[in-house]
Amino acid sequence: MMRPLIALGAALVLLYGCAEPAPPQGPGPAAPPPVHHRPSAPEGARDACGAREFQHLVGRPRSEIPVPVTPALQRVACTTCPVTMDYDPRRLNFFYDAETGLIREVRCG
């Protein structure tokens, strides 16, 4: 009868040791919100995707984005849409305004 209780107690101690500590309580400075920075590309790789060629589309309707879009090399997303944060200097990104449908930015990444 004692062995199962000892085993249960040992398991609880181990689980308690794996728990995350509680955040500090009381007044104090609030932590600043996380800041997301775009990775900077080396000078020579800034236009590895050919974004310069499509800058004339900024301000134009998203329907003017050339099709077909190759998912491995191109991405089309609204400026408020969630996208992956991985950086690929060869990927061409078209970002458009979700409300107006106008292209706001064309860049590599």
Q: Any idea where the domains of the chain sit in the sequence? A: 44-109
Q: Categorize the per-residue pLDDT at 102 as very low, low, confident or very high, splitting at 50, 70 and 90.
A: very high
pLDDT of the residue at 35: 43
3 or 20, which is more confident:
3
CATH class of 44-109: alpha beta
Is residue 49 within 8 A of residue 91, CB to CB? The reply is yes
Is residue 107 within 8 A of residue 45, CB to CB? The reply is no
| 58-79: average pLDDT | 94
- Give tens-digit pLDDT for 5-43: 565 555 545 445 555 555 555 565 555 555 444 555 555
pLDDT of the residue at 69: 86
For residue 92, give the nearest of 81, 104, 76 by alpha carbon. Answer: 76
